[in-house]
Amino acid sequence: MGGRISELQSKIESKVELNPFEAKHYDLMMNIFSLGIYPSFTSRVIDRIEFFDKESIIDFGSGTGHFSCLFHKKARIEKYVGIDLSEIMVKQAEKKCKKYGDAKFIRGDIRKPVPFKEEFTKAFTSFVLHGFVQEERIKITQNAYNALKKGGKFIILDYGEKDVDSAPFYIKFLIRKLECPLAEEFMKTDLKKMLKSVGFTDFTEYSFVNGYIRLEIATK
Ligand SMILES: C[S@@+](CC[C@H](N)C(=O)[O-])C[C@H]1O[C@@H](n2cnc3c(N)ncnc32)[C@H](O)[C@@H]1O
């Protein structure tokens, strides 16, 4: 019963589970909300990641495949698996990334154990973790840990640890009116502490948009 209630609660509160309209127009919405800078911004973010030869990447909440394409453009990817709950997202990603033969998109729930053990050099998640209650963020982090090879990196792109009360009005509007209620709580969460509790070490953090967005890289 308790499990059912928290499942319902996270469904109500989370906005990372998109409705069909949002899923279909996700890329366009990102471009509009970012005033057209989303593609160049995400490319700049990915430039901070160190890639080696023959990378294998698992992407938790892979969306329309935007980051899959970026990874394939910037590095030699041997294997890429994107997992997403939304069939519409999976279909868009398959279409967008069809020229990358290794790219595979699976419909699945990243809160449930994934069928991969020590297979990937990198686990990635972008603007997904903030949309879950802490208990579920830990489950996703544990999934990333299990899927990574020893020495593999878990790369999280999401909101930074910042006080929304003192944020400029447009950030306040974004976080408090457009984002899910869990986003502000995520911004108060000690991400490194959570990562450490699962077993990750050796953290590198890059900050964007005055720290409101961060790229956190942790090592297994
Ligand atoms: C805000 S979008 C981010 C998409 C992509 N990571 C990006 O940055 O372009 C969140 C994504 O998480 C997916 N998602 C939400 N809940 C999920 C779950 N429980 N399991 C897998 N994917 C989920 C949504 O379908 C959506 O594609």
Tell me which DSSP letter residue 132 carries.
Answer: S
- The predicted-structure confidence for 153-198, as pLDDT tens digits, reads as follows 999 999 999 999 999 998 999 899 988 889 999 999 999 999 999 9
Name which of 14-18, 69-73, 129-133 the model is least confident about: 14-18
Question: Does ligand 1 have an atom closer than 6 angstroms to the CB of 122?
Answer: no
Question: Does ligand 1 have an atom closer than 6 angstroms to the CB of 143?
Answer: no
pLDDT confidence of residue 16: 73
**Nearest of 6, 4, 49 to residue 136 by alpha carbon:** 6
pLDDT band (50, 70, 90) for residue 14: low
pLDDT confidence of residue 149: 98
23 vs 75, residue with greater confidence = 75
- For the beta carbon of residue 215, count every other beta carbon within 10 angstroms: 19
Question: What is the domain range of residue 120?
Answer: 2-219
Distance 144 CA to ligand 1 centre (A): 15
Looking at the predicted structure, is the pLDDT value of residue 33 above 90?
no
Question: Does ligand 1 have an atom closer than 6 angstroms to the CB of 111?
Answer: yes
pLDDT confidence of residue 46: 95
Question: Does ligand 1 have an atom closer than 6 angstroms to the CB of 133?
Answer: no
Question: Does ligand 1 have an atom closer than 6 angstroms to the CB of 72?
Answer: no
CA atoms within 13 A on the CB side of 86: 22
23 vs 185, residue with greater confidence = 185
- The predicted-structure confidence for 109-158, as pLDDT tens digits, reads as follows 999 999 999 999 999 999 999 999 999 999 999 999 999 999 999 999 99
Distance 184 CA to ligand 1 centre (A): 18
- Give percent of the chain above pLDDT 70: 93
Distance 193 CA to ligand 1 centre (A): 23
CATH at 143: 3.40.50.150
pLDDT confidence of residue 4: 45
- The total number of structural domains in the chain stands at 1
pTM, two decimals, is 0.92
Report the distance separating Cα 199 and Cα 25, nearest Å. Answer: 37
Residue nearest to atom 5 of ligand 1 (CA): 63
